[in-house]
Structure 1
Amino acid sequence: MKKRNLTAIILSTAMLAGCGSSTSSSATKTYRFAADQDITTMDSAFATDPTSMNALHATNEGLMAVGKKGDTVAGLAKSYKLSKNRKVYTFTLRDNLKWTDPDGKTTPLKAQDFVYSWRRALGQASEYAYMFSSDGAGIKNADKLVELGTKATKKQLATLGISAPDDKTVKVTLERPCSYFLDIMTFSCFYPQSEKYITKWGKSFATDAKHLLTCGAFQATNWVKSSKITFKKNNNYYDKKDVKIDNLTMYLNQDPKTSAANFEAEKVDFATINSSLVDKYKSNKAYTQFAQGYVYYININFKKKLLANKNIRAALSYAINRKDFTSNVLKDGSQPIGGMVGRTIAYNPKTHEDFRKESGNYVAYDLKKAQSLFDKGLKELGMKSASLEILYGTDESPENTVAEYLQHAFSQLKGLKVDVKASTRQGRIQKQDASQYDIALQHWGPDYSDPTTYLNLGLSNNSNNRGKYNNPKFDAAMKAAQKESDAYKRWNDLLKAEKIEMKDYAFIPLFQKGAAALQNPKTSGLIYKMALSSPYTFTYVQVK
């Protein structure tokens, strides 16, 4: 099967050097990872956060998988055939694939498990149901099923472009060719699930380690919510020879200071840290920085009279000194971003130029211009002053730091009173869906290596377009790209779409996140990827 290169970083002793201990012995080898968020679900149909996806990725796999170099390789499918019109993929599963339950009992993993899983995600209107539609993989009839949501009947769900002609064959039919289709098959919402097992346990499924099935490199052994989840090597995994550690421990909901202290105490092997700790550790040989795919941005509520004014939106963008914030506040390798599409995610099919570089920079810091635009906007609205509230989630680090900085930056505009509203991630989403906010701080990580993974957020019918931005010209450009079979013409359609969106100040991009971390130099093989599947792959980790 052909491998596909992706942006990936292998965090290993090649990058890090220094002293440190590891939990290895002649008997067992354990890798300990500190996660800054909690697991919200271990049901692959509903996972949306990085920590849940990391845990699911450790225990499950899709038709395609993440290879040792961070590339897309054969997963549960050993091979595939592509039709001449590039719209039908026929996958052949590996021999003797098995599900393993918590008691160690195994059952065959069959092609029908993929059919069931995909239909279930759409039928229960999971948040990532759009990944099956034209906004993602473009699977036949998925768009209609996404619109129907929970109202879709079994007969209607059966029209989804996936079938299992036999136990080892998965046939997927697309609406149109999709250049990143194999890559997107590594994503957790496309993992298989056992209908028999889920039916047996009902609401208890995936709620604890006693109600989980595994087909991946590791098997969950214990899960203490908001504390830690432990795994052991799955000896029924088809590629068990490449799994070099015996145990994996993920400490959950760890704040950076706790993670750093545990690293110094040799209790964890990998810990991400935040800006407040960078100066302390940047000279430590275990310290490293790497770029992430997350683009942080301001989501604007277009239903608010003040923010529906383009000059007001432009004023807010010009009032932000992104370089100062990333260099002097975050200090973790984050970089200012000039548009909604992240760097090193997608490249011109002819020139191989990065989309971000080719599309250009649509932001700048100019406080004088910001004030002029703000005054003009107020005059157009018949207002002499205005107030603005910044909504953010306290459990979405570093959004609290972003909120504080933006409050100060926007307060420099004469005539604008700025307040902040702290909530949780879920509370933020609820307020946005109810249109009970002015602007909200959000971030978006790429689901696959294509500009549309970011640009789809601006579509008028996209469920994640919570500010209700609506521009028919933008929708038309995106629709043209969706229908275009010529890769270069499609690329230009997407460049046009981002230009429309950015000139409209549909969103206000802030920065592309960097990460600062401490890693035990006696470990290697941890893979971080900007796009696809999950941020981290533990399959190839080694502990000396």
Structure 2
Amino acid sequence: MKRQKKRIGFVGLTLAACLILTSCGGGGAASSAAPSSGAPASSAAATDVVKSDELAAKSKYAGTPDADMITINTVSEPTTLNTMLAYDTGSSSILREIVSGLFKLDKSDKPIPDLIESYEVSDDKLTYTFKLKQGPKWSNGEPVTSKDYVFGWTTAMKKETAANYAFILYDNIKGGKDYFDGKIKEDQLGIKAPDDYTLSITFVRPIPYALHLFTFTAYMPLNQKAYESIGADNYAKEADKVVTNGAYKVSEWKHNDHVTLAKNEDYWDKDKIGIPKIKYVMLSDANATLNAFKAGQLDFMTVGKDHIKLLKAEGQPIARYIETGPWYFQYNTTKKPFNNAKVRQAFGLSVDLDSYVNDVLADGSIKADGVVPPGVAGANGKDYAEARGSIQPKFDPAKAKSLLAEGLKEAGVSAAGFKPVFTCSNTTSGQKDAAFFQEQWKKNLGVSVELKPLDNKARFEAMQSQNFELLMAGWTPDYNDPMTFLDLFMTNNGNNNGKYSSKTYDDLVTKAMNEADPEKRQNILIEAEKLLVQTDTAVFPIYYRAINYTTSQKFTGGTYTPFQGWPGDYHDGTKLTKK
């Protein structure tokens, strides 16, 4: 059974700076940045940052001239605004503003009720029963009811919908897998709507991160009347073909240029919306982005290495957080010689990650010590990564060269005929990252690697169709639990783009899913992660990205956190300033 999942994130997204889900070459952000985690920043740029709420007061730039609108750079076109089909950070960040569900995340990334009055959990922790708010409306005027959740979830779980995140529903909801396979009817699912404002969902096992799941796009409601009248093929592809119920409505969508949102006056918590309009523009070049910010055409942007010193020299404040999502080398394990673990190990061990983080990135990013980053919840209220420790293989060019020779021989590939291609981002930062890796492989392995730069959309398509050999990918979390990173690499996960397949790994992750004891569950996941990284090297962790960003004087109160990452959240108390 195919399990479809995000790259983002990181959430999914995605998981590149604008489409972190499956990006490469250091991400697509125009300035090498995009959101997440609680790890301490290090390296050359780790000092002189300010708190987010200090940016507006200290900013040197007044911002855009529109009195009631802020302009945010989201780098590239969202792949979709359909909650069932979204899989990248860029899409999810906009959907967070326009669609509301059972729960949302507060400014501390804690799940809090959104469109519900109350909820109860059964003693066996399998069934959640919600009493919905009466009053919230869709933008077509219809009330938001329990039927909208049932329709959204059941439609996403149909094979013909081809939802990337169908698995996050059918793997968890009672009867979900059988429904996905066409073995049972809807009324046999663990989803019930006894009346318009009562909803219950029964899971196949207790899920410790269930409330986080309810904040995720795949668990959002969907208006049946709108979806069916517009048609599945056209839904959410234009501004006038998407129906929303969140803090904002989509007022304009000029593809590959901008998306404009307008305040939803029917939103249940509209008094907290302090920004009447938000315009998301799509600038992928770092220099063009900086010039637009200085010219008063942007109010928020991420800041990369080349511009950190420049902005600080003129007194422009910069804030930062560390992304709760790894960046890693992704290998296509279906293509020789990357079907050989020794070859995969060689390409990771031959790259000096300290030099990459400190000299190439130089923006506060930190070297990865595993796939699951710091800041992700572990057993008994502690950090998972702290319990695991570092499992990152150390830089060892001599060992890498030896492994490569052995691996090529085992794979039946001659060294002379080995001409690998590194698929990378076509952005400014992506090209610099790719050039560094190319030089490292030539110097330490004696291998000439061809670079293949692609834009975000083409890169995603290449990943999903396995039309690559080697690239750098990123992943943002869908919820606060290590499972959001580790189930990604199960054989049948739809976002397992490298097609890694290990029965041992699958069995370990499945065992963890069914383990109720938090400590035992964590130990099983650690064992699985060590297999993934150290033994099989299905992926090679590289770094956890620092997101450096700055704003104009025009607004304050935006939320920029590990689980509500770049380009931020703006409907929970964000306000225009009075300058």
Q: Same fold (TM over 0.5)?
A: yes
Of 311, 315, 320, which aligns to 1:289?
320
Kindly indicate whether residue 574 of structure 2 is the aligned counterpart of residue 541 of structure 1: yes
**Amino acid aligned to 1:195:** Q
Alignment of 1:308-319 (within 5 A): 308-319=339-350
Question: Residue 337 of structure 1 corresponds to which residue in structure 2?
Answer: 368
2:124 matches 1:78 = no
Q: 1:324-343, CA deviations, whole angstroms, 9 ceiling, x for partnerless residues? A: 11221122322111211122
Q: Give CA-to-partner distance per residue, 1:314-367, whole Å, 9 cap, x none.
A: 2211111112112211223221112111221223326x1342562423221122
Corresponding residue SS for 2:185: helix
Residue ranges of structure 2 left out of the alignment (5+ in a row): 1-35, 39-49
Query: Contact 2:330/2:471 (CA < 8 Å) preserved in 1?
Result: yes
Return the structure number with greater relative CO, CA threshold 8 A, min gap 6: 2
Change (3 A) 1:396 1:475: farther
Q: Corresponding residue for 1:510? A: 542
- Residue in 1 that maps onto 2:217: 188
Which stretch of the first structure deviates more once superposed, 37-46 or 491-500? 37-46
- Check if 1:92 corresponds to 2:131: yes
Q: Are the equivalent residues in 2 in contact too, given 1:36–1:272 (CA < 8 A)?
A: no
Deviation of 1:271 after TM superposition, in Å, equals 0.8
Aligned counterparts of 1:384 and 1:251: Cα–Cα separation in 2: 46
Structure 1 counterpart of 2:241, one-letter code: H
Answering whether residue 258 of structure 2 is matched by residue 228 of structure 1, we say: yes
Q: Any residues of structure 2 matched to 1:27-176 within 5 Å, and which? A: 29-101=68-140, 106-123=141-158, 124-134=161-171, 138-146=172-180, 148=181, 152=182, 156-176=185-205
Query: What's the offset of the Cα at 1:434?
Result: 4.7
Report the counterpart of residue 257 of structure 1 in structure 2: 287
* 1:490 Cα deviation after fit: 0.6
Q: CA deviation at 1:532?
A: 6.3
Farther off after superposition, 447-456 or 522-531:
522-531
How far, CA to CA, are the matches of 1:215 and 1:381 in structure 2?
54
Which segment is superposed worse, 69-78 or 252-261?
A: 252-261
> Structure 2 matches for 1:293-372, cutoff 5 A?
293-349=324-380, 352-355=382-385, 358-372=388-402
1:322 and 1:7 mapped to 2: Cα distance? Answer: 20
Q: Percent identity?
A: 25
- Code of the residue aligned with 1:390 in structure 2: it is V
Partner of residue 432, structure 2: 401
Separation in structure 2 between the aligned mates of residue 534 and residue 45 of structure 1, nearest angstrom: 21
Q: Which secondary structure state, in structure 2, belongs to the residue aligned with residue 473 of structure 1? A: helix
Distance between the aligned counterparts of 1:10 and 1:188, measured in 2? 29
Cα shift readout 1:227-270 (whole Å, capped 9, x = no counterpart): 11222211111111111122222112443322221211222210
1:186, distance to aligned residue in structure 2 (A): 1.0
Q: Sort the Cα spacing of 1:91 and 1:61 in 2 relative to 1 into closer, same or farther, 3 A.
A: same
8 Å CA contact retained: 2:289, 2:301? yes
Unmatched 5+ stretches in structure 1: 1-5
* Alignment match of 1:488 (pick from 486, 500, 519): 519
- Distance in 1, matches of 2:454 and 2:244, equals 35
Q: Distance in 1 between matches of 2:394 and 2:109?
A: 34
Q: Offset of 1:388 from its aligned partner?
A: 4.1
Alignment of 1:233-248 (within 5 A): 233-248=263-278
1:435/1:221 Cα in 2 relative to 1: closer, same or farther (>3 Å)?
closer
SS of residue matched to 2:532: helix
Structure having the larger proportion of residues in strand? 1
Partner of residue 270, structure 1: 300
Moved more, 236-245 or 381-390: 381-390
Normalized against structure 2, the TM-score is what?
A: 0.84
8 Å CA contact 2:285–2:427 kept in 1: the answer is: no
Instruction: Return the offset for 1:81.
Output: 0.3
- Amino acid of the structure 2 residue aligned with 1:488: E
User: Taking structure 1 as reference, are residues 421 and 23 closer, same or farther at Cα in structure 2, changes over 3 Å only?
Assistant: closer
- CA RMSD after TM alignment: 2.6
Corresponding residue SS for 2:320: strand
Alpha-carbon distance between aligned partners in 2 of 1:268 and 1:536, rounded to the nearest angstrom: 14
In structure 2, C-alpha distance between the alignment counterparts of 1:409 and 1:311, rounded to whole Å: 17
Deviations 1:392-428 (A, max 9, x none): 2536774433322211111124453321223344444
- Tell me the amino acid that sits aligned with residue 526 of structure 1: G
Using the TM superposition, name which of 7-16 and 284-293 deviates more: 7-16
Q: CA deviation at 1:307?
A: 2.1
- Tell me, yes or no, if structure 1 residue 419 matches structure 2 residue 460: no
SS at match of 1:192: coil
The count of corresponding residues between Structure 1 and Structure 2 is 524
The aligned residue for residue 28 of structure 2 is: none
- Give the SS at the match of 2:473: strand
What amino acid is the match of 1:192?
A: P
- 1:298 and 1:423 map into 2 onto residues whose CA distance is 16
Aligned match of 1:219: 249
Is the contact made by 1:17 and 1:521 (CA closer than 8 Å) also made in structure 2? yes
Task: Work out whether residues 82 and 90 of structure 1, in 8 Å CA contact, stay in contact via their aligned partners in 2.
Answer: yes
Instruction: Determine the structure 2 residue equivalent to 1:530.
Output: 562
Kept in 2, the 8 Å contact 1:335–1:512? The answer is: yes
Shift of 1:30: 2.2
Distance 1:170 1:524 in 2: 37
**What SS does the corresponding residue of 2:449 show, helix, strand or coil?**
strand
CA distance in 1, matches of 2:423, 2:225: 41
Amino acid at match of 2:537: Y
Distance 1:305 1:35, change over 3 A: closer
Asked if structure 1 preserves the Cα contact closer than 8 Å seen for 2:136 and 2:143, the reply is yes
Q: Supply the distance in 2 between the matched residues of 1:346 and 1:472 (Cα, whole angstroms).
A: 26
Letter in 1 for 2:150: V
Which residue identity is paired with 1:128? Y
Work out whether residues 80 and 89 of structure 1, in 8 Å CA contact, stay in contact via their aligned partners in 2. yes
* Aligned equivalents of 1:402, 1:356: Cα separation in 2: 28
For 2:4, the equivalent position in structure 1 comes to none
- Secondary structure at the aligned position of 1:417 is classed as coil
- 109-118 vs 523-532, which moves further: 523-532
The structural deviation recorded for 1:431 is 4.0
* TM-score, normalisation: structure 1: 0.89
**Aligned residue in 2 for 1:17:** 58
Partner SS for 2:451: strand
1:3 maps to none
Secondary structure of the residue that 1:96 maps to in structure 2?
coil
Q: Which moved more, 1:420-429 or 1:308-317?
A: 420-429
